[in-house]
Structure formats: structure tokens, C-alpha cells
């Protein structure tokens, strides 16, 4: 028999862990290569992980609702056994080469049950600090002793250390009869949203507001919609994406990302626009890759497709990462004006409110016009107030006079 | 809480100034925290049970008793004259000097670290607030960010024997005796009972130890307790096992042993049947913390009960030992200060200051096997050690437990003179993952008790020098 330990693969950029949603097999099941074995939910999407080979499921190393780090064992497959031979799945105690059991409470430095882990206190402390699970390492010292260098090199090459989110303290005992509150773990998408928002909060940001006469924009939208016809469901959003890209072209440093750890910032010449999307699961930001290359119809179709994928949690990792600027269309759920939060490491975000009729001075006389509120927030570390003002001026100008887009280079 | 009370803001609150509490306060201060330490007895409480009325005074008494006894025993070894008479009143003055110097040292360290010490009984009133009631003066209200609970433990009383501090004593009273009683009965043959019984016997008291279980030191391996049992018999200590103390009546402890009822003549009765954690009067429900079985607080490896609340020492599971509390104190202070920290020792040494001393760390052979480890064992009698012979204390042995294929040391168990000092080397070896060969190849000075560990390691490798192996 041959045991194959299947570990949680690196499912994408910046994702260090996943939550087990559901096991699709049980111990003893015969599985075929590529057959889905387990559904996991990463911060971005739900995915089914397939079996790497034919075999019999020997053990499941995590339970539903467990949060598993990248690189941790998920299940063990006996690729030498086949149910077709009529053999029952072998008992784990019979193995000559035992697969590592899950360390109790996930504490690095624990014993793995069969063999003393040889690591000095200093090594264990280092592993804890760097988020390395010692039971997963093979030491290079005598008798497999783990050295501080082993831990350091694992930290350099391995998956990123998980956040020290204190999973260790004992869970509070449930009080019988206490039903006035409902305590739930912060998991999956909601936890990722919470972390992103916390990260956003560490960005010193400034916001500029404008109210723009949207008469011309609405006219252009009406005309375009009759032209496009059945080709796509054309909302105002593709037009706003177009105006944002045109404004970003004139103010390139707004289409940037910042890396404070490396103390550098990157100006992006391509425009990957995140579209903040409300779903029943929570806020998801799918990314319109190379939005600058898409036609109005292409944008409309892609926005509909990504929105649908967000709602069904079927976005690929590529479709949720790599954004260079984000648009929040908070007017779509009735908000008049709000302050969008910069989606770090991006440096700016534009929010569009609900169009409503308002009295504006037009040629010296009050007139009722449709007004679109715009709010743009920027990372003040990189973007100064005058730069943000310049960008918002351009954006407002293009929104109020969409014909000007004709004059923009592509 | 009355409207209008103003709570004082506290950054890191430490409750209890025993070894765990003061160590947590000092580590917290090292980490840059603003620390407030609350103890029932304020500055006078610094040092806790251990320094003031427990381990330190008891070691002073054991030292005195042993010195007297060894002087008497040296009559045939080159000393003549009558054995010196004990003077416990003088001992109490001597002890006060020792305790004052040690606790004064800790108070100085706390002052130097800027730790504020408040005296009074603390109760939690909210998840982030507590009230401290001093013996005199108005209550103080504290609003804290983080808290370390280090309130320690207290002796368990026996309902049948009402503690009066005159005849029926606890260990604290026994260590404060200012005259040597002619007779004493000790209820409980755990390490406290055995240590006190041995010391009193060496001072001249006729001692009876009453134990409910079937042998002394029931929490230790039977083979470790055996040399101590023999020694107690030599000292004339009567050990009644399978016996229950029923009452104290007319100068005697009434004991049921099987179907028999015995009267044990005892001027003093010392109850030492265990300790219980001080978690019942803290208002823990207001803090949002629920003690587990036996009043112990459930903690994670980082010693946190829940975010912002840590518990260390005797209020948590594991041996109720000061050095465990010290180690946990650092972990708790670091975890509360946002560092990654875990209490993850391979072994916590345990010492009984009996005669001979017992010291043990790591796994016993049976425990190691139960964990699925393949082990080998080496055990060398202390009689093979030259230094033990010169001390006049050849009883006991040193035992090593190692992993069979790697030779990594899993357990070190010593019965013999100075075992309490020796065990630190064993603990270091286990923590570093040293092998029997590492120990055997490390040159130990001769003649010492310490070289017995080298000898045991050599024997494990099949090449002993001073023993048959």
C-alpha cells in the first residue's frame, strides 16, 4: 500500500488558509483521480478539490468548519488499495510508515505521538514566532533534530505565516438558557471582509465629494441602450467605468498600488477595475481584467458575468485579485452619498451614488437637473489633496460631458 | 457599582503577588506595560505562599532539622558530644530574616520596574472592571485592559478536623511553630506531609503520618517513594496507610484503619491533604470566565482563558509549583502584549525535599510507552556513587528513560542526596533533545552526585565505569 498525504494546495495569491465546507467522501471510499473530494471556502471563493490519484480514502485530517492552513494535511489516500479488489480499507494502525497525525491544538513543538520531536526551546520559540509547525519539518540535525536554521529556511520558502488570531484560548462555555445573544465564529468570507476592512482602516485616507449634472450622461446612456439593444443589459455602470478609465489615463498615479513593507509604489499601465458587489454572502470585489480594452458592450457583459459569478461564489482567484482601482456603485442600493474605503494596496476608490433630481443653477437661473453624487477616496500617503482634486475634477468633467470621451486616446 | 464612581485606568492588571503574579508583573513591565499588581496583603503579600509561608520557610526548617540530625548521626563518623537542641523560637527569627530579605528583594524589583502595588481583596465587576476593597479605607475601582489571574491556592480543610491554628494546624501554622512538639500526627502523605513529618522527626518529635491511600507520595511512581518509606521507618516515623482521620479527641487523633479504630497520641495535628485553587471569590462570572472541574481555569497554550484574560500558576491545571507559575507568567505577559508565546515544556521538574530527596522530570517509562514511544531504561543505585557514600546517604538511584532508536532523553528520575539540584541538568538535557550519548560524553566532575547521571547514561550505552551496569 502507498499512502499519499494530500495537503491544502496554495490556492492563490495571498490566501494562506481555507475553511472546510463539506467532505464529499468518507473514510474507506474508493475515489478516482480528479473526483471532487472536499469543498473548501477560501476568502475569495468556494472550490472543490479533486483527488490527485485513484485510491481509497484512508483518513480525513480536518473536519467540516475547520480552518486549514496552506500546506496542512487534508486527507490521506491509499493509492495502492482498490476497493475493486474487495479489500477493506486498511486500518491506520497497520502502517509501517505512519502518516503524521494532526498535532494536538496545532501547537508547534508538540509531540507527534510516535516520536519525540527534537527541538530545543529556542527553536520551538522561533517556530512559534515565525508561524512554522515543527511537526511538519524534517530536521537536518542529528537524529532529525530541528535546528533554528531549519525553521528559518522553512519560513523563507514555506507558505506565509497565518495571522496570530488567537485560536488557542479555551472557548467560553455555553451558558444554558442564555439566548439573548448569538455568538458565531468569524469565518470564511466574513472574516476576509473584516480583515480587508481592518487593513483599509490602517490607510490614512482623504475623500472628495462632487455633485455632477448628469443630464448628458443619462442622455448618452439612453442613446447607447437603444443602439446596443439586446446585445447586453446596459446599466449606467459601463459608462462610469469608461469615464473612470479616461480620468485614470490623465492621472496615472491614481492607478497605483503601494507596498509599505518594501517602501515602494507601483504605477499600473493596465486598468484592472474592481467592482464592489453586494451578494447574499457579503461584499465581493470581482476584477474587470484589462477593462481599458473592453467595448461598452464587452464591459456590460463582463460586469453581468462577474456579478453572477460573485453571487454564486464561483469566481476564480484571478477574477478577484490584481485590481488596480475600485469602483463602488453604492447608488445601486439607494445610497445618495457615502465615503468609500480604499481597497488596499490600491490607492484610490471611486463611489457613485444614486442619481436624483436637484435644483442647480443653470445659466444664472435655478433649474431641476438629474444629479450624480461622486465620492473619491485616496491613500493620502501617496496622493496629495491637489492630486486627488485634479483627478476628481477630470472625472466630474467627463461625467457631466461624456462627449469629451471622444477626445480621449484609447 | 454606584453611579459617579470613577474607575482608575489600568493597562495590565495582575491579581496575586505570589511567584506567578510578581513574575508576570515584572515581565509585563519589561515589555513596556504599565502594570498594577493587586494582592490581598498589598506589599506584605509580595512573594505569596511560596516565599512567605511555603516553600522557602519549609526549606529553612528542613535544612535545620537535617543539620541537627546529621550532626547526631555523625557521632560514629568523627564527631562527638550531644546532639544540639533545637530552638524553634530562634528559628522563627532566623526564618523571618530570610523571608524579609527575599521578599524585600522582590519588592525592590517591583518598585524598580515601576509596578504599582495595591492591597485589598479584588472582585471582578465587569469584563473590564474590578473593585479592590482594602482592609481599611474606601474601595478602589479599576478599569483594565488586560488581566493576569495568579491568585494561587489554599490548603483544603478536613471537615472532621476543625482548623484552629493551635492544635489542628495547616502547613502554614506548622512552619510557624515556636516549640518542637513531643508528638504530632500528620494527615496526608503527599509531599508536604512527608517533608514536614521528616523535619519534625529529625527535630525530635514522635511523628505519625496518616494516609488514606495505600502508600506515601501517591502521585509519584512507587519505586521513587520506596527509599523514602525506608528512611521514614529508620527515623521512627509511623506511617499508617489505608487510614482515615476521624476526629481529634482528648489529645489524640482518632483514626480508622480498616476495621480498627486507633488513637494516635498527638500534641499537634497537621492537615496536609491538598490544595484548592483560589478562584471562587473573584467574581469570575462578571469577568465572563467559568472555572472548570476543581475550580481550575481552562487556558490555551498561551495561558489565555479568553482574549485579554490570562491565568497562571495554581489556578490552572498541572502541578501546583512555583517554577511552573514563573514560566507561565512570562508566556501570559507576552501573549497579552501581542507576542506569539506558548507554554510548551517537554518537562516540568518536580522535587520532594524528603530524605532522600526525590526529583523527577519528563516521562516515566510507562508514560512514554503509553504515548507510543519505544523506550530504553537505565537505572543505577546511588550506592555506586562515591560522593553519596561520603555524605552518608547512599540510598536511592538515578534512572534515565530514553527513546530507543535515537537515544533522546525522555525522562530523568533521581532519588538521593541533592537530587533537587541534579534535576536541572536532566531538565536541560530533555529540553535540548540531548541523547544518552551526549550525557555520557559530557565530563562530570568527580566526586559528585552529578556524575551519577553520566554513569547512568554510560550504562545505557553498555559501557558503565563505576557500576555493574
Class of the CATH domain delimited by A190-407? alpha beta
Q: Which three cell numbers stand for residue A134?
A: 515543527
Q: How far is CA B206 from the centre of its chain?
A: 25
Q: Does B441 touch chain A (CB under 8 A)?
A: no
Q: How far is CA A58 from the centre of its chain?
A: 32
Residues of B in contact with A131 (CB under 8 A): 340
Residues of A with CB under 8 A from a CB of B: 105, 107-111, 113-116, 118-121, 124-125, 128-129, 131, 142-145, 164, 166, 168-170, 172-173, 175
State the nearest Cα–Cα gap between A236 and chain B, in angstroms: 47
Mean pLDDT of chain A: 81
Neighbours of B385 (CB within 10 A): 28
Q: For residue A345, say if its preceding peptide bond is cis, omega within 30 degrees of 0.
A: yes
Q: Which residues, 6 or more positions from B21, have their beta carbon under 8 angstroms from its beta carbon?
A: B14, B15, B37, B39, B48, B148, B150, B151, B152, B313, B329
Share of chain A above pLDDT 70, in %: 82
Residue-level pLDDT at A10 = 66
Nearest to A169 among B304, B373, B406 (CB): B304
- For residue B469, pLDDT over 60 is answered with no
d(CA B75, CA B88): 23
Mean pLDDT of chain B: 94
Summarize the confidence of residues B144-162 as an average pLDDT: 95
d(CA A173, CA A254): 50
pLDDT tens-digit map of B46-102: 999 999 999 999 999 999 999 999 998 888 888 888 888 999 999 999 999 999 999
d(CA A367, CA A358): 8
Report phi then psi at B148, rounded to 5: -115, 120
Confidence of residue B371 (pLDDT cuts 50, 70, 90): confident
CB contact under 8 A, A170 and B306: yes
Any idea which of A134-143, A293-302, A304-313 has the lowest mean pLDDT?
A134-143
Confidence of residue B322 (pLDDT cuts 50, 70, 90): very high
Residue-level pLDDT at A44 = 63
Please tell me which residue, A265 or B2, carries the higher pLDDT value.
A265
Summarize the confidence of residues B307-325 as an average pLDDT: 96
Q: Which fold has domain A3-157?
A: OB fold (Dihydrolipoamide Acetyltransferase, E2P) (2.40.50)
Q: How far is CA B86 from CA A268, B74, B100, in A?
A: 88, 17, 22
Residues of A in contact with B289 (CB under 8 A): 172
Q: Which residues, 6 or more positions from B31, have their beta carbon under 8 angstroms from its beta carbon?
A: B333, B334, B337, B339
Q: Please say whether the beta carbons of A27 and A57 come within 8 A.
A: yes
Domains in chain B and their CATH numbers? Answer: 8-153+276-336 (3.50.50.60), 168-273 (3.50.50.60), 350-460 (3.30.390.30)
* Beta strands A283-284 and A273-278, pairing class: antiparallel
- For residue B402, pLDDT over 90 is answered with yes
pLDDT tens-digit map of A176-223: 454 567 777 777 778 878 888 888 888 999 999 999 999 999 999 999
d(CA A253, CA A112): 52
- For residue A290, pLDDT over 70 is answered with yes
What pTM did the predictor assign? 0.62
Q: How far is CA A147 from CA A23, B9, B417, B434, in A?
A: 37, 44, 36, 13
Domains of chain A, by residue range, sit at 3-157, 190-407
Q: Please say whether the beta carbons of A31 and A54 come within 8 A.
A: yes
- For residue A12, pLDDT over 60 is answered with no
Residue-level pLDDT at A162 = 52
Q: Write the DSSP assignment of A169-180 as a string of letters.
A: SPPPPPPTT--S
Confidence of residue A167 (pLDDT cuts 50, 70, 90): very low
Residue A292 appears among annotated catalytic residues: no
- For residue A95, pLDDT over 50 is answered with no
Q: Does B315 touch chain A (CB under 8 A)?
A: no
Residue-level pLDDT at B334 = 96
Element (H, E) at A247: helix A237-250
- For residue A380, pLDDT over 50 is answered with yes
Summarize the confidence of residues A1-25 as an average pLDDT: 74
Amino acid at each position: 500500500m502507498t499512502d499519499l498525504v494530500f495537503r491544502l494546495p496554495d490556492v492563490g495569491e495571498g490566501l494562506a488558509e481555507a475553511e472546510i465546507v463539506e467532505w464529499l467522501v468518507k473514510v474507506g471510499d474508493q475515489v478516482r483521480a480528479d473526483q471532487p473530494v472536499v469543498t473548501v471556502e477560501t476568502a475569495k471563493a468556494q472550490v472543490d478539490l479533486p483527488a490527485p490519484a485513484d485510491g481509497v480514502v484512508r483518513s480525513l485530517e480536518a473536519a467540516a468548519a475547520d480552518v486549514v492552513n496552506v500546506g496542512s494535511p487534508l486527507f490521506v489516500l491509499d493509492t495502492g488499495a482498490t476497493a475493486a479488489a474487495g479489500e477493506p480499507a486498511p486500518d491506520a494502525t497497520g502502517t509501517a510508515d505512519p502518516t503524521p497525525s494532526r498535532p494536538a491544538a496545532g501547537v508547534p513543538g508538540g509531540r507527534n505521538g510516535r516520536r519525540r520531536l527534537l527541538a530545543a526551546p529556542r527553536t520551538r520559540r522561533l517556530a512559534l514566532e515565525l508561524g512554522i509547525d515543527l511537526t511538519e519539518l524534517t530536521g537536518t540535525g542529528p537524529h532529525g533534530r530541528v535546528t533554528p536554521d531549519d525553521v528559518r529556511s522553512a519560513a523563507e520558502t514555506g507558505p506565509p505565516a497565518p495571522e496570530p488570531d488567537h485560536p488557542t484560548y479555551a472557548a467560553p462555555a455555553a451558558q444554558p438558557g442564555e439566548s439573548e445573544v448569538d455568538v458565531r465564529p468569524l469565518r470564511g468570507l466574513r472574516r476576509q471582509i473584516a480583515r480587508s476592512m481592518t487593513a483599509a482602516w490602517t490607510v490614512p485616507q482623504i475623500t472628495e465629494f462632487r455633485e455632477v449634472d448628469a443630464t448628458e450622461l443619462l442622455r448618452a446612456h439612453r442613446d447607447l441602450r437603444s443602439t446596443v439593444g439586446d446585445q447586453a443589459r446596459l446599466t449606467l455602470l459601463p459608462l462610469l467605468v469608461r469615464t473612470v478609465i479616461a480620468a485614470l489615463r490623465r492621472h496615472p498615479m491614481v492607478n497605483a498600488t503601494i507596498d509599505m513593507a518594501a517602501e515602494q509604489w507601483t504605477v499600473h499601465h493596465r486598468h484592472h477595475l474592481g467592482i464592489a458587489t453586494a451578494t447574499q454572502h457579503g461584499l465581493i470585489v470581482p476584477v474587470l481584467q484589462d477593462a481599458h480594452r473592453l467595448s461598452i458592450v464587452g464591459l456590460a457583459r463582463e460586469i453581468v458575468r462577474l456579478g453572477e459569478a460573485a453571487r454564486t461564489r464561483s469566481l476564480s482567484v484571478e477574477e478577484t485579485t490584481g485590481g488596480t482601482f475600485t469602483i463602488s456603485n453604492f447608488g445601486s442600493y439607494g445610497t445618495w452619498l457615502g465615503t468609500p474605503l480604499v481597497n488596499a494596496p490600491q490607492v484610490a476608490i471611486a463611489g457613485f451614488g444614486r442619481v436624483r433630481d436637484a435644483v442647480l443653477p443653470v445659466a444664472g437661473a435655478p433649474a431641476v437637473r438629474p444629479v450624480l453624487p461622486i465620492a473619491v477616496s485616496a491613500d493620502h500617503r501617496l496622493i496629495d489633496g491637489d492630486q486627488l482634486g485634479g483627478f476628481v475634477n477630470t472625472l466630474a468633467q467627463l461625467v457631466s460631458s461624456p462627449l469629451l470621451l471622444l477626445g480621449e486616446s484609447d | 457599582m454606584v453611579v459617579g464612581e470613577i474607575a482608575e485606568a489600568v493597562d495590565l492588571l495582575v491579581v496575586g503577588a505570589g511567584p506567578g503574579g510578581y513574575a508576570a508583573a515584572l515581565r509585563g513591565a519589561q515589555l513596556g506595560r504599565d502594570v498594577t499588581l493587586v494582592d490581598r496583603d498589598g506589599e506584605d503579600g509580595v512573594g505569596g505562599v511560596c516565599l512567605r509561608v511555603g516553600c522557602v520557610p519549609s526549606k529553612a526548617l528542613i535544612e535545620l532539622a537535617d543539620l541537627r540530625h546529621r550532626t547526631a548521626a555523625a557521632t560514629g563518623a568523627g564527631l562527638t558530644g550531644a546532639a544540639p537542641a533545637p530552638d524553634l523560637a530562634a528559628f522563627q527569627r532566623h526564618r523571618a530574616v530570610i523571608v524579609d530579605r527575599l521578599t524585600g528583594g522582590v519588592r525592590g524589583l517591583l518598585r524598580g520596574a515601576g509596578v504599582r502595588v495595591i492591597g485589598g481583596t479584588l472582585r471582578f465587576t465587569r469584563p473590564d472592571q474590578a473593585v479592590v476593597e482594602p482592609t481599611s479605607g474606601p474601595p478602589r475601582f479599576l478599569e483594565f485592559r488586560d488581566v493576569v489571574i495568579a491568585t494561587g491556592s489554599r490548603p483544603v480543610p478536613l471537615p472532621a478536623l476543625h482548623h484552629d491554628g493551635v492544635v489542628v494546624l495547616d502547613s502554614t501554622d506548622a512552619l510557624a511553630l515556636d516549640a518542637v512538639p513531643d508528638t504530632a500526627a500528620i494527615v496526608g502523605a503527599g509531599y508536604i506531609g512527608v517533608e514536614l513529618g521528616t523535619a519534625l522527626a529529625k527535630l525530635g518529635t514522635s511523628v505519625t503520618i496518616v494516609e488514606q491511600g495505600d502508600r506515601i507520595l501517591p502521585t509519584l511512581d512507587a519505586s521513587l517513594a520506596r527509599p523514602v518509606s525506608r528512611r521514614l521507618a529508620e527515623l521512627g516515623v509511623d506511617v499508617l496507610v489505608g487510614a482515615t482521620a476521624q476526629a481529634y479527641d482528648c489529645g489524640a487523633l482518632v483514626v480508622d484503619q480498616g476495621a480498627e479504630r486507633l488513637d494516635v497520641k498527638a500534641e499537634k495535628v497537621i492537615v496536609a491533604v491538598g490544595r484548592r485553587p483560589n478562584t471562587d471569590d473573584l467574581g469570575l462570572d462578571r469577568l465572563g470566565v467559568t472555572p472548570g472541574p476543581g475550580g481550575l481555569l481552562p487556558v490555551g497554550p498561551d495561558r489565555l482563558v479568553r482574549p485579554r484574560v490570562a491565568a497562571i500558576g495554581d489556578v490552572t491545571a498541572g502541578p501546583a509549583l512555583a517554577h511552573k507559575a514563573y514560566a507561565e507568567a512570562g508566556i501570559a505577559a507576552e501573549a497579552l502584549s501581542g507576542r506569539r508565546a506558548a507554554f510548551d515544556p517537554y518537562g516540568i521538574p518536580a522535587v520532594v525535599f524528603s530524605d532522600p530527596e526525590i526529583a523527577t522530570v519528563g516521562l516515566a517509562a510507562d508514560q512514554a510507552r503509553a504515548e507510543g514511544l519505544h523506550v530504553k531504561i537505565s537505572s543505577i543505585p546511588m550506592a555506586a556513587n562515591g560522593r553519596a557514600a561520603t555524605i552518608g546517604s547512599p540510598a536511592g538511584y538515578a534512572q534515565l528513560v530514553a527513546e530507543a532508536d535515537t537515544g533522546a532523553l525522555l525522562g530523568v528520575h533521581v532519588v538521593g542526596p541533592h537530587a533537587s539540584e541534579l534535576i536541572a541538568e536532566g531538565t536541560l538535557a530533555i529540553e535540548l533533545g540531548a541523547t544518552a550519548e551526549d550525557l555520557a560524553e559530557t565530563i562530570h566532575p568527580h566526586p559528585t552526585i552529578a556524575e551519577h547521571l553520566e554513569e547512568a547514561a554510560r550504562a545505557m550505552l553498555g559501557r558503565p565505569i563505576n557500576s555493574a551496569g
